[in-house]
Structure 1
Amino acid sequence: MVVAASLIKAVTDLETERQKGGQLCLSDESVSQRWSIYGFDLSGDMVLRDPHDNSIFGAIFHRKSTGDPPPKFAIAFRGTMLRKATAMEDIVNDCDYIFNGLHESTRVDMGLTAVKILLENVSENGVWLTGHSLGAAIALTIGRTLVLSMNTYLDTYLFNPPIKSLLDCRAGVKVKNSLKSVIIARSDKKIVSMDDIVALSKWIPNLFINEFDWFCNDYVSHFEFIKKMEDSGPAGEEDWTVAMNSLRSLVSNLFGNYSQPSYLIPSAHLTINSRHPAEGSMEAHRLRQWLNSELQQLRHRRYVSFQAN
């Protein structure tokens, strides 16, 4: 947990230094200690920059020693930075996520290309994906795409991954699922592939969420819904359509513009921070809580869909 979070923090620190007008100095110990302490190295050509604003949004860290345990490479993506130099493109990507279009973004494309190049020389258990907030959404989208397009399952560590879409914000779980069922009944289009559900069920990313974080705490109810659905008997296509779609995606489908949300997955290992931050609810979304190796009040839940068997 701390290793993956520290690599994400390193990406944020690199972008912070860039915004200060300094050169990309990877040998600066105040920054490089984030990765070097765990045996990783980082070179300039392994830094991912958004071509629209030249901001650093990700990095590919390389494990220096061949005798070290996996991963050989770790790809980390930072979260949204609401600062002058990064706010516009970060918000554009946030909006892509909200409207189920993140899979078409430049950052996902660059990250996916980088992973594919690594996998030409390294086995899938030699590569990690990790990210926080927007970065978690990017990593999740990449991981999901690799499962469905290449049958490749990467170890993935996602911190405070957002789950709410625009139309889901105000509705409770029962209300949302009831509305979804009504919409599905009015549609004659098949919008979920059981083959995709089976494939995704075998991928078990690690999700780190704070139960007081409004952006990601619905993951608990999402997986609990799937568990109850499967415990009550064999889940059919309509059940999975409800579970794997947002209200927005189903409404869009009625108008012929369907796009399945990449953040809804059937299996995961959840690490839940139950501590209410004294600083306020926004603190529950911050990465720094996961940099504490002695973090208390953690709960662990493993949700593996029956479809994985």
Structure 2
Amino acid sequence: MLNQDTKIYDMKLNKAIMKNKLHRTSCIEKAMQTVEFMVSISEASKIWLAGHSAGSAVAMLAGKNMAKRGNLLGSYLFNPPFVAAPTKRRHLVATCLITAALTLLIRNNQDMQHLDILFSDLSMWVPNLYIHPSDPICSGYIRYFKIREKMERHGVGRLERLAPPYSLKGLLMKAFGKDYCSEELHLIPSACVTTSCSSFLQAHGLDQWFGDDTVSDPVVHCYN
């Protein structure tokens, strides 16, 4: 199904995802038009979003946009991109705390308050994420939810809740007056996560999710 034109377009789409600019692409504009039309002629409960890799990023953004309007669409996102550099868990804790501290410093900013409300509103939307721990494209979600649970257990959950809507990069650019969409695509409040223990060679593949022998039971992570 791939040809030279689609490969070039996919490269541009991947670049937009990496730079957190998917919301500015014609792809998401067309996707939103289609989803909005389907919701207008049917019930939201009858519509599912699905995608793999870059396609799951498009589906995720469409799902987030619809959830903000009160339409919670069933979403099945296979190997969705988590745009963050791989790092050790203790570094994630430090990043989370620094992000929370920066949020406290500038959260009186109107944009920050707006994002707080949006993230709380999004908590009712629980997309289904299918993640392979060895897939560098999506495995960040596993660390993302584990670190939230760990901080809850250590009694600093209230501080950690300040950080999720924002990225450290986004907050720093915002603090210095730079134009940046600090609502990162991959940051979501809630999800139902299913993992796979298939081989490393299949880590980013779609076929692995069609078998029962390597797929775990789903685990729900809720934002309170």
- Shorter-chain TM-score range: 0.7 to 0.9
Corresponding position: 1:271 with 2:191: no
Q: Which amino acid aligns with 1:225?
A: I
Which residue is equivalent to 2:75? 156
Matched, 1:301 2:224: no
- Asked whether the equivalents of residues 56 and 79 of structure 2 are also in contact (C-alpha less than 8 Å), the reply is yes
* Counterparts of 1:226 and 1:110, CA distance in 2: 34
Amino acid at match of 2:175: L
Larger RCO: 1 or 2 (CA < 8 Å, sep 6+): 2
Contact 1:227/1:305 (8 A) holds in 2: no
Deviation at 1:222, TM superposition (A): 1.1
Match of 2:161 among 230, 233, 240: 240
* Residue identity (%): 25
Query: How far does the alpha carbon of each residue in 1:253-308 deviate from its partner, in whole angstroms, 9 at most, with x for none?
Result: 1232231102110110000112333x3xxx31122222x333425242111122xx
Deviates most, 170-179 or 208-217: 170-179
- Letter aligned with residue 221 of structure 2: Y
What secondary structure is seen at the aligned counterpart in 2 of 1:110?
Answer: helix
Match of 1:27 in 2: none
Could you tell me whether the CA contact under 8 Å between 2:99 and 2:171 is conserved in 1?
A: yes
Unaligned runs of 5+ in 1: 1-14, 20-83
Partner SS state of residue 285, structure 1: coil
- The 3 A distance-change label for structure 1 pair 297 and 135 is closer
Amino acid at match of 2:120: V
Q: By how many angstroms is 1:185 displaced? A: 5.7
Kindly report which structure 2 residues correspond to 1:92-241, keeping only aligned pairs within 5 A, or say none.
92-148=12-68, 150-165=69-84, 168-170=85-87, 172-181=91-100, 183-184=102-103, 187=106, 190=109, 191-192=112-113, 193-230=115-152, 236=158, 239-241=160-162
- Count of aligned residue pairs for this structure pair: 217
Distance in 2, Cα, partners of 1:194 & 1:177: 16
Per-residue deviation, residues 179-227 of structure 1 (Å, max 9, x unmatched): 4245446546542533222211110000001011111111112122333
Q: What are the Cα deviations for residues 36-82 of structure 1, in whole angstroms up to 9, with x where unaligned? A: xxxxxxxxxxxxxxxxxxxxxxxxxxxxxxxxxxxxxxxxxxxxxxx
Partners of 2:96 and 2:160 within 8 A in 1:
no
For the residues of structure 2 that align with 1:228 and 1:187, how far apart are their CA atoms? 26
Distance 2:104 2:43 in 1: 43
Q: Secondary structure at the match of 2:82?
A: coil
Distance 2:162 2:180 in 1: 13
Amino acid at match of 2:117: D
**TM-score where L is the length of structure 1:** 0.63
TM-score normalised by the chain length of structure 2: 0.85
CA drift at 1:232: 5.6
8 Å CA contact 2:116, 2:165 repeated in 1: no
Higher strand share: 1
Letter paired with 2:26: T
Larger radius of gyration: 1
- The alignment's C-alpha RMSD in Å is 2.4
Larger mean CA deviation between 254-263 and 121-130 belongs to: 254-263
Q: For 1:22-33, list aligned pairs within 5 A.
A: none
**Structure 1 residues 118, 97: closer, same or farther in 2, change over 3 A?**
same
